[in-house]
Structure 1
């Protein structure tokens, strides 16, 4: 038997909406979740900031687009490999590095961002866009929402590391136009964000969710809609491993069952290794 898949303490997100129904804002602090991802993936110093950023963005997108369904994002570069982040409706979030050596994944036309999510109809929706060179991942996420979902948004993402390369903060916010938008209200907010820059919002808000909401809304009246909890973790289990092994041919299962040694199978997402008794395959 293996140990259980790791579960980290909960991180928090806050959802709010302007009183006039023009737009909503989601702010999240994903620091503990991102730390769990980096530790499980043993991320090198080059890829760690991008991986933490993508994990944060994936939670933010799930809360905005499909809070009751799974959402997965992939950043893929033809030479530097890819990274995957995966967030589930129960809040469990994980990520995976798929590259031969420690390389950051730069943004630009070569790097594609794909978003995969379940929909209310039970179908899988997939959208793919080129990332934007010279901008942050937040701008590429906003570009995806506009191109693939026809939703006007402003997205800010921020990660901070100390001198030892340890993650000290990972967070993000999303400002999204609503159907009943009052043009003047929205224009005032988006113009201010463009002038001050999304990164300034984190500093003004002291890197706290409530502070970030206040910094975005500023003088616009708003109300808190709810809180969301999420964490690093994995949905792998010994039962799932056994289920996968059950799909092998009878000959392959018999060969494994004949072994006198436990079958060691690891999860690439959480780095947990399962030790399977060969007798269970007979």
Structure 2
């Protein structure tokens, strides 16, 4: 599977800003992307599936808000329950991975940590880590990260819906950010509207499409659409990457694998594709 595979279904995110430059809103429908991730991770109709879809959605939101031209990764980690990893690339390719030791999803609140890793224009890796919030959903922990680690005041909404068969029917979300020199009147109008409506009710009063969510958030406040962003599920795995990873093993381990009479079967944890590697490719070349 390629990062640029044109056959994969795309989802759409929209960026908007109030006419007076006070508030920015990013909204997206991530259903196709999240559904493909759940299929690859063999997770459906459970707390784990819902959390996985939410985190993948949140990761795309954060990338579009913080580093649209660079890769961004989120990690939700509990010392005993395991972790969920999601990352989104600047070309829109997004994937996620569940590594859990329990059937129930990772609980939020201490000691579960949320870390965000993103590349910067300087070529350095920026990392922020915060404790998740107990008694709230993942959206509140994402907003808490933005406030604590990035000093950005935000409102985040995430939503997943499953049908009676346990299949994902919708995944989406939005992010509202206060911009520098915001007008008090605009801020008060939108804040009052969000408090009265509720972050989850936004999805109910509007529709699940990105522009409908944006309209519902702004209410009577004038705004303009700044642009749209496509994204999709994908993975950058491949035989060459697997061979590069195998090359980091000890000489003894490599020799043992190279002596196998049968092709090596190695599966990618992200996309669940199995590669068959000829052991001869691990042997020293004359």
Task: Identify whether the pair has TM-score above 0.5, normalized to the shorter chain.
Answer: yes
CA distance in 1, matches of 2:273, 2:266: 9
Native 8 Å contact 1:8 1:32 kept in 2: no
SS at match of 2:55: helix
Aligned residue number for residue 182 of structure 2: 181
Which has the higher mean CA deviation after the structures are superposed, 259-268 or 20-29? 259-268
Match of 1:88 in 2: 89
* Structure 1 residue aligned with 2:38: 38
**1:71 matched residue in structure 2:** 72
Would you say 1:273 and 2:279 are equivalent positions? no
In the other structure, the counterpart of 2:130 is 129
1:103 maps to which residue? 104
- For 2:142 and 2:240, locate their aligned partners in 1 and report how far apart those are by CA, in whole Å: 35
Q: Equivalent residues in 2 for 1:131-280 (5 A)?
A: 131-280=132-281
Q: Which 5+ residue runs of structure 1 have no aligned equivalent?
A: none
* 1:263 Cα offset (Å): 1.1
Q: CA deviation at 1:148?
A: 0.3
Q: Deviations over 1:201-236 (max 9, x none)?
A: 111221111100100111111111111011111111
> What do the CA deviations read for 1:119-141 (whole angstroms, capped 9, x no partner)?
12211111111112222211111
Tell me, what secondary structure is at the counterpart of 2:145? helix
CA separation of 1:46 and 1:154: change in aligned 2, threshold 3 A: closer
Aligned to 2:17: 17
State the TM-score, normalized to the length of structure 2.
Answer: 0.93
Which structure 2 residues correspond to residues 47-58 of structure 1 after superposition, within 5 A? 47-58=48-59
CA contact (8 A) 1:8 1:36 kept: no
- Displacement of 1:84 in angstroms is 1.0
d(CA) in 2 for partners of 1:168, 1:58? 19
Structure 1 runs of 4+ aligned residues shifted over 6 Å read: 3-7
Residue correspondences, number? 280
Does the CA contact (< 8 Å) of 2:14 and 2:228 recur in 1? yes
Query: Please, which runs of 5 or more residues in structure 2 have no aligned partner?
Result: none
Give the equivalent residue in structure 1 for 2:61.
Answer: 60
Alpha-carbon distance in 2 for matches of 1:260, 1:77: 40
